[in-house]
Amino acid sequence: MSSRGWGEVAVAVAAVLLLLVVPTTVEGQTANRPEIVSLNFEGNASFPDRSLRNAIITRQTDCRSFILTPFCWVGSDFALDRSFLNPRSFRDDYARVQLFYYVRGYRQARVDTIMDRSEENRVRVTYRIDEGRPIRITELEVAGVEDEAARAGLDASLPIGVGDPLDLNRLDFTRDTITRRMRNRGYAHTDVLRNIDIDLERLEAQVEYDVYTGPRAHFGEIRIEGNEEVSERVIRRMIPFEEGQTYNRELIFDAQRALYNLEIFRHASVEEDLEHVPDSIVPLQVTVNEGNTHRVRTGAGWNSAECFTAETRWSSRNFQGGARRLVLRSALSNVGAHQLEDSICSGAGTGVYGDLNWSLSADFRQPFIFSPRNSLSASLFAERQSLQDVFVRQAVGVNLTLTRQIGRGTPLSVFYRPQLARLEAAEVFFCTTFLVCDPDEIDILQDFNLLSPVGVAFSRDRTNRAFSPTGGYTVLADLEHASRFTGSNFDYERLVVETTRFFSITDDIVLAARIRGGRLWAGSFRGLGVDQDDTERRIAHPQKRFFAGGANSVRGYAQNQLGPQVVSVDLDDLIFPVGDRPDPICAPSQVANLSCDPDPLEEDRFFSRPAGGANLLEGSAELRFPVWQPHLRGAAFVDFGQVWDNSANNSLSDVVVAPGVGLRYSTPIGPVRIDVAYRPRRTEQVPVITSGLRAFDPDRDRPEDRIVDPDGQAMDWVRQDDRLLLLDPRLTLADEPGFSLRRLQLHFSIGQAF
């Protein structure tokens, strides 16, 4: 292209950029309707700006999203959410601020407004507030309850108390709390009146709640309507109370939740008749609307760890009556992994690790075991699964779980999970991690063995949403034990604890945090005849080791790539010249006696594998914010973590920190997520595995068995491809200093990271 042509292109690009970044006249902006460029509050010591902004209608022009901030700085119209002064709303907002303080007990508060019109068609608004002193509660009494049992603890931990400002909202919340407590103690017709005596001169108030209890009530007749396939007997047994039992409002909510948990009802309601005569009896009406008894679902997807996946499931939600549930499921993963291993499926593994994975299962759930709070789950499964570059597992087994709901969103489970499992491609793992390098012993470990843990699991979910929560927390604890008494060939104890917390910073910005820890105590594997007191040969099944890194872990690393590593190297690269080197790295005798130092080899000659560990610590802090409402959101996060193999060597200085950013697109099945994170520079020493060799023995070897060098000369050494050698010198792996694009890690998945 000529210089003139390039000049025209440059002018066009400049024109487009000017349109984006140079402010223009805003539609609707006039002298009588100026743009509000700032909205501030002064003097509000007791309440933050955020609370006052939520109390009024007037808004200031803001940036549409955090990530559009550079465009907002230069005034790009597409990046700004503009607001204009509405005189009527502004006058009403003055009264709203006054009312805000009045309701919260600050009845001396005075509000003034300042409008700065120094810029044409633009205004700066300031609310100047003199809060004054609040009216404080000096006495608070709950009266009218004569029953000592009902009164016990009635006024404990109320939302408002002596010394607090006279907040009308909190007073109403306190009245509702007293009402709820009395109705849960059998008084269905409880009504609470609030009396307030205010001394304006002393700014003091006395508050009395007068409780009308009415008669102590009992549950009356329970009528059921709307059921067709599900029998009335099944519905009645899910209701945690009987006719004649003392009334308790909370039990009514528990009954409704229990019916929804059967997953066969589209709608379930439990309504009480408080107009019944006599009023000491409260009849109930249970109305249900059944959904489809049988359902078939299929789905497919893609993620960076499993390549393309597919799943089909058939479910019966009233199997053999009794609202029992049966689910038959089949799934495939690593579909197309070999064909796409160099592009979008690089995280699925190569070779045998990239072969097709599959699973078949039948899951059964009995919702009622002596109580609607108890349920029994049983599943049969057969599967082939791979953990990239660590092992391939084929297994058949049974999972038995007894669960009791000890509170809302708080199940406690006891389980037994026996399985018969066989491993493949785990030779390097056993040799480096547990120093089991003998091929006969490795064959025993990889053969079909029983892994049969028993355990207990506890979880609590207090989040406000199933997808992308904005508040609340979760807690999880899982403890397993396996030994000869549980029918297991592997002995171990394993503990995992995790908690998450969600904070709403503004209406659209959420701070999410997570921390997870784990510990594995490995025991003996009796198939090798190991003594129970032999601490040198503690062997854990690879499936129970801890691995970190991936889309739901420390995102600066690929799947399972954080923590202890082991590398393997081809024997030929050690004993023959490589590349431009005139001499080999090591002599065969150095490999045989394990003294060969592989450090001079180029890094691309080694194949790295994760080894996992016995101790885990990882966590995340993630700021989630809108990018383009309502579907596109962004995230800025910092992940940290480490996996250790020996508790004696655990050090917090080993914990790595990986910052990153991401985008989330909302869909009906959860957010589609893309994350990019940057891992820190690594410097570590890792064990090296290579194939075995031994000196040529003319009494047992044929001459043609000898190793032949590239020049065609026979060497007095013989390969032992079935034996692994763990070299004594470790390999030093170190990244180049400074920033490197090679340390960026991309993840694609569905659902939030936690």
Q: Among candidates 427, 353, 418, which has minimal Cα distance to 392?
A: 353
Is 670 within a domain?
A: no
Assign 247 a pLDDT band (cuts: 50, 70, 90): very high
Q: Among candidates 513, 512, 514, 534, which has minimal Cα distance to 523?
A: 534
SS3 content of the chain, % helix, strand, coil (to 5): 20, 40, 40
182, 260: one domain: no
Is 92 within a domain?
A: yes
Is 163 within a domain?
A: yes
Provide the pLDDT for residue 4. 42
What distance in Å separates the CA atoms of residue 665 and residue 674, rounded to the nearest whole number? 9
Specify the 3-state DSSP secondary structure of 712. coil
**What DSSP assignment string belongs to 483-500?**
SGGGT-SEEEEEEEEEEE
183, 263: one domain: no
**Phi, then psi, of 594 in degrees rounded to 5:** 70, 15
Model confidence over 718-741: pLDDT tens digits? 988 778 888 888 888 887 888 888
Helix H or strand E encompassing 297: strand 294-303
What distance in Å separates the CA atoms of residue 168 and residue 194, rounded to the nearest whole number? 11
Q: Mean pLDDT over residues 184-202, rounded?
A: 94
Model confidence over 2-27: pLDDT tens digits? 444 444 434 444 433 433 444 444 55
Provide the pLDDT for residue 121. 86
Specify the 3-state DSSP secondary structure of 598. coil
Report how far Cα 426 is from the mean position of its chain's Cα atoms: 30
**What DSSP assignment string belongs to 195-226?**
EEEEETTTTEEEEEEEEE-----EEEEEEEES
269, 195: one domain: no
Is the pTM for the entire model greater than 0.85? Answer: no
Is 453 within a domain?
A: no
What distance in Å separates the CA atoms of residue 430 and residue 433, rounded to the nearest whole number? 5
Assign 626 a pLDDT band (cuts: 50, 70, 90): confident
Model confidence over 564-620: pLDDT tens digits? 888 888 899 998 988 788 889 899 999 999 999 988 888 888 888 888 899 999 999
What distance in Å separates the CA atoms of residue 739 and residue 737, rounded to the nearest whole number? 7
229, 169: one domain: no
Specify the 3-state DSSP secondary structure of 242. coil
Model confidence over 689-699: pLDDT tens digits? 888 888 988 88
Provide the pLDDT for residue 506. 82
What distance in Å separates the CA atoms of residue 242 and residue 136, rounded to the nearest whole number? 46
Final residue in a domain of this structure, among 290, 311, 338: 290
**Phi, then psi, of 486 in degrees rounded to 5:** -95, 0
Assign 536 a pLDDT band (cuts: 50, 70, 90): low
SS (H, E, C) 668-707: CCCCEEEEEEECCCCEEEECEEEEEEEECCCCCCCHHHEE
Residues 375 and 363: beta-carbon distance below 8 Å: no
Number of structural domains the chain divides into? 3
88, 143: one domain: no
Is 553 within a domain?
A: no
CATH of the domain at 272: 3.10.20.310
Is 258 within a domain?
A: yes
38, 125: one domain: yes
Does 160 score more than 90 pLDDT? yes
Burial of 183 (0-12, 13-18, 19+ CB in 10 A): buried
* DSSP H helices in 613-677: none
What distance in Å separates the CA atoms of residue 429 and residue 290, rounded to the nearest whole number? 52
154, 202: one domain: yes
Give me 200's structure tokens. 């304006």
Final residue in a domain of this structure, among 290, 305, 325: 290
Is 338 within a domain?
A: no
114, 94: one domain: yes
Residue type, 468: S
CB-CB neighbours of 323 under 10 Å: 24
108, 26: one domain: yes
Provide the pLDDT for residue 529. 56
202, 124: one domain: no
156, 97: one domain: no
184, 281: one domain: no
Mean pLDDT, rounded, of the chain: 87
Provide the pLDDT for residue 141. 94
According to DSSP, residue 626 is labeled E
Query: Residues of the chain with pLDDT > 90: what percent?
Result: 45
Instruction: Kindly report each contact of residues 55-59 with a partner whose C-beta sits within 8 Å and lies 24 or more positions away, as own/partner.
Output: 55/96, 55/97, 55/100, 56/93, 56/96, 56/97, 57/86, 57/89, 57/92, 57/93, 57/96, 58/83, 58/85, 58/86, 58/89, 58/90, 58/93, 58/125, 59/83
Final residue in a domain of this structure, among 83, 98, 130: 130
Is 744 within a domain?
A: no
Report how far Cα 223 is from the mean position of its chain's Cα atoms: 41
What distance in Å separates the CA atoms of residue 254 and residue 238, rounded to the nearest whole number? 9
CB-CB neighbours of 625 under 10 Å: 17
**Structural domain range at position 205:** 136-212
N- to C-terminal Cα separation, the chain: 52
